[in-house]
Amino acid sequence: MLQGKILVAQGGGPTAVINQSVVGVVQEAKKLAGVTNVYGALHGVSGILKEDFLDLSLESNANLEAVAATPCAALGSTRDKPDTAYCKEIFKVLKAHKIGTFYYIGGNDSSDALHTLGEEARKAKYALNCIHIPKTIDNDLMINDHTPGYPSAAKFVASAFAGVNQDNAALPGVYVGVVMGRHAGFLTAASAAARRFETDGPHLIYCPERTFDMDAFTADVKEIYNRIGRCVVAVSEGIHDSEGAPIVTKLAKEVEKDAHGNVQLSGTGALADLLTGQIKQKSDIKRVRGDTFGYLQRSFLGCVSDVDASEARAVGEKAVLFANAGNRKGTVTIHRVGKYAVEYRLSPLEAVAGKTKVMADEFINEAGNDVTGRFMRYVKPLLGTGGLPPVARFDPANTVGKVLAKKKAPAKKKALAKKKKQARS
């Protein structure tokens, strides 16, 4: 049975539904007689050090629900990864505030941080329940069928590509859209859900699970362009060469690295500019444009999958229920059952901490430039009960017969007949 004060915090990159999980913890904990307060730490573990807590038990129900529907981490987030000394400071604060249960909502870095905290607590003989609640738009947590945050980001990416596909059809050329994803291509792959009609883009999709070859890329683009007169491309920010070096480093001499030694991929348009530059150089295609979807993918207001929202709420609630049932640590995981339903389990922290799941081979086509039908069956239920807004076109069957061209037709027919004859010979 959960007792006394419990604490919840958010870590890593925000998502459109991460606040649902906080509110899930608060609402479920409020049902338990033994829980006196639910504290929220501001900016993840860094807020614990500073004793920056809000008492979320004092929030009105209406405001809790309004925050739940607001994108991005309402408690603030952090990229801090605690070491032994950091953990000791955390214990001092938790002890001072009499907190024995900590819910940390985050991705694999956050689960790793929680794992470290749990181990240090054990060594220090500090009684601490550590429950990790999953979220990441990258969808790269092990064991999980998918992670809260991914479906809404996938809906954003699919909606963006459905739109730019229309735009590219109206003003034909080549369009390259760069999507978030350092190691896992799930989000880039979701762009395929934008397609409705046969010639709809994205026509090419490149994920970081496969080596990116610049020559193959430009050849692919030219082939599509020559065939249908336009080409829409979805590319992961994390695409890399055969030695694992990010393609974006081919352009920039100086690249920014974060605390984990990762090259900065988001917050710059360099990769899109590099790729469109290559197409311009290696073809005579005139209209070549590139966009980097950037932070809008995880924060845009009003683009939420209802499936995602309810699952993000559920993992918060389940985290409380698992701890209340006597579990001391673990991570809540999502498992798909039947055609599309999910069940939630508590899995060992070690199974997800610091590990990265990437796309299964069967989700990417052999040429490495598209997704498969299996991926489509995987991703479609996640986009929400309504799916994407509809896309329609005028019926091409209603084409009006040419009047002037008809008059000129004999000459054209002759030329065509001549061409056919030559082809046969």
Name which of residues 138 to 197 contact a copy of itself (CB under 8 A): 159-160, 162-164, 166-167, 169-171, 175, 194
Q: Closest distance between a copy of itself and the C-beta of residue 324, in Å?
A: 23
Tell me which residues in 52-71 interact with a copy of itself (CB under 8 A): 52-56, 58-59, 63, 66-67, 69-71
Yes or no: say if 32 and 119 are a contact pair by the CB < 8 Å rule: no
Nearer to a copy of itself, 66 or 351 (CB): 66
CA dihedral 225, 267, 271, 261 (to 10 degrees): -140
299 scored as a contact of a copy of itself (CB under 8 A): yes
Nearer to a copy of itself, 162 or 207 (CB): 162
Active site residues: 138
Neighbours of 250 (CB within 10 A): 14
- Distance in angstroms (rounded) separating the CA atoms of residues 151 and 384: 8
Which of 291, 315, 346, 371 has its CA nearest to residue 150? 315
107 scored as a contact of a copy of itself (CB under 8 A): no
423 scored as a contact of a copy of itself (CB under 8 A): no
9 scored as a contact of a copy of itself (CB under 8 A): no
Tell me the C-alpha to C-alpha distance, in Å, between residue 94 and each of 41, 98, 328. 11, 6, 16
126 scored as a contact of a copy of itself (CB under 8 A): no
Neighbours of 404 (CB within 10 A): 7
Q: Closest distance between a copy of itself and the C-beta of residue 238, in Å?
A: 17
Q: Of these, 269, 340, 417, 419, which contacts a copy of itself (CB under 8 A)?
A: 269
Q: Of these, 108, 116, 276, 369, which contacts a copy of itself (CB under 8 A)?
A: 276
Yes or no: say if 223 and 370 are a contact pair by the CB < 8 Å rule: no
Which stretch, 115-123, 135-143, 213-221, 284-292, contacts a copy of itself (CB under 8 A)?
284-292
Residues 6+ apart with CB under 8 A from 72: 14, 15, 16, 18, 19, 298, 299
392 scored as a contact of a copy of itself (CB under 8 A): yes
